[in-house]
Structure formats: C-alpha cells, structure tokens
Amino acid sequence: MKIALAQLNSRIGDLAANEASHAAAIARAAELGAELVVFPEMSLLGYPPRDLVERQGVADSCAESLARLATLVPDSMLALVGLPVPSTGRPLANAMALLRGGRVVGFAHKQLLPSYDVFDEDRHFTPGDRTVVVDHAGERVAVLLCEDLWQAGDARGVRRYARDPLADAAVQGATIAAVSSASPFVAGKDARHVELLSMRARACGVVIASCNAVGGHDDLVFDGGSRVVAADGTVALQCARFAEDLRVLDTASRVRTPVSPSRTHAGLDPGVHTDLDAERFHAIVLGTRDYLAKTGHAKVAIGLSGGIDSALVAAIASAAIGGAHITGILMPSRYSSDGSVSDALETARILGLGRTETLPIDAIHRGIESTVEGKFSTNGLAGENLQSRTRGLLMMLASNATGALVLTTGNKSEYAAGYATLYGDMNGGLAPIGDLYKTEVYAMARMLNARFAEFGFAQPPIPAASIDKAPSAELRPNQTDQDSLPPYEELDAVLRVLVDGEGSVDDAVRVTGSPRELVLRIARMLDRAQFKRDQAAVILKLTPRAFGRGRRYPIAQGWGWSR
C-alpha cells in the first residue's frame, strides 16, 4: 500500500485555511498514487480546540468542510481527517472521518481520553467504545487516535488504561494501524516515541503509520516527526520535524517519495540527530513564529538589558521572524553599568535589529519618587519594583504605539522563585524562555555561539560579555542575582526535583545534597510565587511540568513543606 503522511500546521478555528491545506494535500497525494492518507488528530479544526469546540456552530461548520473534502477523494484512496463530531453522552467525540470515493464512509472515535498535564479531553468528549478496522486496497486498516496508541507511555505517574486499542486492532486482523496524533513537544520525547512505536509494531505485528501535528498553538508546540514503522519495528519513513511535510511510502517496495511543502520553516530533515538544547531551540523558534503569525503580529519589541536572557530571546526572535522586525528597547537606570548598555547595543548590531531605542528611566523614576514623597516609601523592594514597572510601562507603550508584541525575557528559575516583577519585567504577550531554567539558558546560548551557522546565524548571536558576566537585575548598586537567590546551579537542581519531579523536600535534599534549610527556602519561594505565575505571559511548553495550564496549583493554600 502507498501511504501518505500529511503533516499539517493547522490554525485552530480557521476552517477555511485548514480546509484548503487538506485539499492541497489530498490532491498531491492522489498525484503520487497514495492509497491511504493520514492527517493529524483534529486536523480540520486544529488541536487543542479547548472550549472553542463547544461553541455553537463549530461542529456543524466542520461537518460542512468535511463534506466538501470528501468529494476530492477518489475511489482508490482512503483519507483520514480529524474533527469533532456529535456524540451521545457528552455532546461531541474526538473523531477521524474516513473519506473514500467522494463521500464520508465512517468515523472512528478516540477511545482513550487523556486528562493529565495540559490535556482535558474528558471535559468535552465521549470516548469511543471500539476499534474501527476497515478493508482497503488489500489491507486491513485500523484507525486510532493519539492516546489510543501512546497510552500515556511517556507521561510520569499517570494511571495506565485498562484497554489497548492497538491490541484490539491486531485481534481483528489489522495489517496497518493508521494513527492520527497531536502530541505536544517535550524535549527528548521524540526519541522515546520512536522506541515505543518500534516496540508496539513488533508486539502486535502491524505496520504503524503515525501522523503527528506540527506548529505552535498558544503555549504548546507540536514538532511533527511523523513516521511509518514496519511490522519488524524498523522505521521505514520519517517526516521532517518542526515543519509541514508530506511524504509517501510504498510498503511493498519501501520506496519513499518526499514532498516537503513547508511554507513557514525549514525544519529538521528526517534522521538528523539533535541534542536537547537544539531541540528546545527549534521548538521555541517555531512556537514564537506561529504565536505571532496566528495572532496577527508581524513584529516584536524586546527590552534589551545586556544580560543573557534578553540576548537569547532576541536571537530566538531573529530566527523566528528576522531581525528587521524586532525593536530593541534599552531602558538604563541610575544603577545600570556602561557594560549593560554596550552589551545590549552589541546584541542589536549582531542580530541586525530593525530598530533600537534608548529610553532612560531615571527621570520617570525620580518623578514618581517625588510624587509619593512623604506618603509611601520607595526604599528597598518598593523602589526596585518601581524601576521594573517603569520599564514595563515603556514596553507596553511601545507595543501600543507600534503594534509590536512584547516578548518577555524571564526564565523558569526566575518564575519559580518569584524573582520577577508583576506589571514590570513580566509584561508581555509571550514568554519564549519561560520553560528554560537559567542553567539551560546559558547552555543554549553557548551552543548557539558554537554552532551558529547550523541555526542560520551569520556569526555567534550572543555577545560573549552577556554570557560571562554575573547576572544582575541592576535595581540597586552592585546588585547580582545571587544576593537574593542561591547559585543557579544549586537552585535549578532543587527546582528540577520540586517542580519537574513533584518531589518532596526530603527528595530534593537526597538528590541534590543541598542543606535542608536551603531546600525549604526554595520550596517556600516556589509556593509564594504562584500568584505571579498565574498572571504571567503565555509560556511555551518544553518540559512535562511547564508553568501554565499543565501545572494547576492554588494560590491561597496552607500546605507546609516541612510535613
């Protein structure tokens, strides 16, 4: 059988654009003689639709688009298209429509509905009660959706399902399992998926054709990497990662036909080895580019401090949309060093930023101090936050005046510890590095400088001084981050246990070797800062436990870490 994997970047809710991309893929697959075309999960509406799926008219409009697509599918082809369909129980099911010979010939409903991390499918959908297997072109084709195959195999601490739809398919004599997925990016997960696909193909004795979504959708990034795995567990076909792609495999001869219609990103060619830093960089770039494109923004504004965080965010934005579309804003205070200004200007020069403005904040700072004199103190934390909020005010002014989206520059270590100012440096629409610990920020910056050409830069993009100097918010004389925080190596090691592993204080003490009092201090900072994180910009998810929709903690709570 000739199998086509149509790895699309859908825009949630944009049915006209999504229908057009499906139609183009069906036409191209037909030209290449494909007999089976597999699209990603919920490909027609976009995934995850969240509560949009329940808005009146959405499911009906999807059905109308589907009917038009069905007329494009010849008798020789079976096309699998994802969409919500009416159901009993809850109003909808997460389904794949089976299109053949100009009509819709059936539906397969997703059977295993994840309700962990960012997933909330049980909120909207009724689970399917059977595995659909159809005869086509001399094969028995099973139609499965995402979790039906993965079964939370890459999720930590999730209760396993009682049913196994892929094993059910094998019992029904399936020779090919067509799996439509929308599995969000997590660093390192693609390699685990290859292992899982190979193991499951061998165990069930079926060919698995797995098509994964690609693109950024709010906080989530989908990295593609669709593939066909033979019944012996070998990878017979693989699509690009981080880019749209369409590829065809003849399972009889193993002849591969690549057709790479990527419109937005060069992506990674199949088989290219990537380390975790490189994976994260590609994911952040794609997530940033798509967030801007899908929200209608063509340019961004970034506060350039001369530090490593803002330099890395500027490099990411440059890779996503080009330096010409970036405005860098320097906002020196009475405490800013000459090096901070020169390092920020060097970032702008290296990346070729389209516009750079210097807006000193001292006059505003002194004006507010004069306004509140004798009424409110501006000493200590109040004065430091005043400076940060002055910068936040200017950034949002620049956004309103130019239409540019503000990218925040905070990292996961700062968000975890509360070392960030609401309505100040947290202002903005997207936090590209909000799921990178500070030590990972340094690692990514050094990697980009060492391998700059590989990522499309003409020279090392991060000024060496921004990497080498001690990190500082420069809100008081001679300040460094380590005046308020433990060394980042120690802080990040503890946070990986408390946040990523949901471990206890005892766990963190045992794993890191840090003193118990230090771990308790970090744990309390983590809980106290929840109210800030609940008001943070959208954070691109790179890890299993990113701050945001997948980590839902109460703000007002009395749990004691010393328990």
Q: Within its chain, how far is the Cα of 23 from the centroid?
A: 26
What single DSSP character describes residue 224? B
Tokens found for residue 538? 């959208």
Query: Using CA atoms, how far apart are residues 143 and 268, in angstroms rounded to an integer?
Result: 28
Other Cβ atoms closer than 10 A to 286: 28
Which residues does residue 109 pair with via DSSP β-bridges, in sequence order?
A: 95
Amino acid type, 240: A
Query: Using CA atoms, how far apart are residues 329 and 333, in angstroms rounded to an integer?
Result: 13
Do 98 and 78 contact (CB within 8 A), yes or no? yes
State the Cα angle at 228 between 223 and 229, rounded to 5°: 115
| Annotated catalytic residue within 110, 412, 532, 541 | 110
DSSP helix, strand, coil percent of the chain (3-state; round to 5): 40, 20, 40
> What backbone phi and psi angles, to 5 degrees, belong to 369?
-60, -40
Amino acid type, 232: D
| Annotated catalytic residue within 41, 244, 384, 474 | 41
**474 counts as catalytic:** no
What single DSSP character describes residue 241? B
**146 counts as catalytic:** yes
Amino acid type, 328: G
Closest by CA position to 86, among listed 118, 60, 67:
60
In 111-152 the beta strands, taken as DSSP E runs, fall at: 132-136, 139-145
Amino acid type, 107: F
Do 512 and 519 contact (CB within 8 A), yes or no? yes
Other Cβ atoms closer than 10 A to 294: 18
| Annotated catalytic residue within 62, 139, 146, 384 | 146
**189 counts as catalytic:** no
Query: Using CA atoms, how far apart are residues 474 and 463, in angstroms rounded to an integer?
Result: 18
> What backbone phi and psi angles, to 5 degrees, belong to 336?
-70, 140
Query: Using CA atoms, how far apart are residues 527 and 365, in angstroms rounded to an integer?
Result: 31
Closest by CA position to 317, among listed 431, 466, 166, 444:
431
User: Could you give the residue numbers annotated as active site?
Assistant: 41, 110, 146
